[in-house]
A and B are shown apart, each in its own frame.
Chain A
Amino acid sequence: MTRVAVVVFPGSNCDADTRDAARAAGCDAYFVWHRDTGLAGADVVVLPGGFSYGDYLRAGAIARFSPVMAAVAAHARAGGAVLGICNGFQILCEAGLLPGALVRNLELRFLSRPVRVRVERTDTPFTTRYAAGEILELPVAHGDGRFVADSRTLAEIEAEGRVVWRYVDENPNGSTRAIAGICNAGRNVVGIMPHPERRVAADCGGNDGARLFLSMEAHHAMERLDGVRAADGGQRGL
């Protein structure tokens, strides 16, 4: 069973929804406190949404120095899957695990409503169960969601196919190139501004987010299978 660590910072508020969404997808999901220094054998780490440290100074700026972040960075460097949702995305950018930054929405208002995003890439641990080009409806809830990066970084992200989701129909926060989510060069670290964990069942407004969690479960099932094959020299023919 894929072990999913959901990191809880002071001010996280989507932690329980995220854990429950991962559990509903068949993962063994559990909380890790921000002062912990280990991840309890996690296959996947998720930094959930919320307002860690009250968004003081800049969103995510203080959380990135939490003790647990050294373990998160080591997990990412080793190729482990890491997902940041909303505030989690902001923390990953502040920590330098993803490029760019998320700044105040263009219209200066906090946005809390459903938006539409297009799945641009299915080759990340979190998007394999989607079809490229598929349009999803997911809610946003943020004041600082406008993605910015210098032009060289943007060119690099685009050239390497690292925009994972893009807003369609409208660009709610004025993000550069309508970017709603990106991944790192290794494609194992992913950030998304909208909230997939809030759309995992028809009775909570839709289930367009559910396959993100099913993707992470399936991805790690496959990785383990590959591990067994490699250890076996491929003889077992699993």
Chain B
Amino acid sequence: MSAYRVAVRVMPRGELLDPQGQAVEHALHALGFAALRSAHVGKHLVLEVDAPTPEAAVDQARAMCERLLANPVTEDFTVAAEGA
């Protein structure tokens, strides 16, 4: 059993309006970043999880997302172990 760092990314669902992302997008365009196509704002969580393997740590983190960290109505998430 060792501790693994798991990175969780929670993002607003693509089909939902993302006013935060739009505000950032407008601000960046106003600053002259013409190459910017779009911006989206979400959350990044770093979890330290005790698990026998990185895969098991990721599974735990996924369960945490389903239970609490992401709202399935409005958000999607991805989970990845950060180097064992």
Instruction: List residues of chain A with CB under 8 Å of any chain B CB.
Output: 57-58, 61-62, 65, 93-94, 99-101, 103-108, 148-150, 174
Contact = CB atoms under 8 A, between A and B. Distances in A.
A73 to B, nearest CB: 15
Interface string B40-59: 00000000000000000000
B68 A65 contact: yes
Interface centre among A105, A148, A174 (most CB of B within 10 A): A148
Nearest to A153: B73
B74 A57 contact: no
B71 A100 contact: no
Contact of B73 (A62, A101, A104, A174): A101
8 smallest beta-carbon distances between A and B, as pairs: A101-B73, A101-B74, A106-B19, A108-B19, A101-B71, A103-B74, A58-B71, A148-B16
A150 B19 contact: no
Nearest to A103: B74
Contact of B69 (A57, A65, A94, A104): A57
Contacts of B17: 106, 174
A94 B19 contact: no
Nearest to B15: A150
Nearest to A108: B19
Given A57-B68, A58-B71, A150-B73, 15 more contacts: A61-B71, A93-B73, A94-B71, A99-B73, A101-B73, A101-B74, A103-B16, A103-B74, A104-B20, A106-B19, A107-B19, A108-B23, A148-B74, A149-B73, A174-B17
Given A101-B73, A148-B74, A149-B73, A108 B20 contact: yes
Nearest to A64: B68
Nearest to A149: B73
Contacts of B69: 57
B70 to A, nearest CB: 9
B68 A61 contact: yes
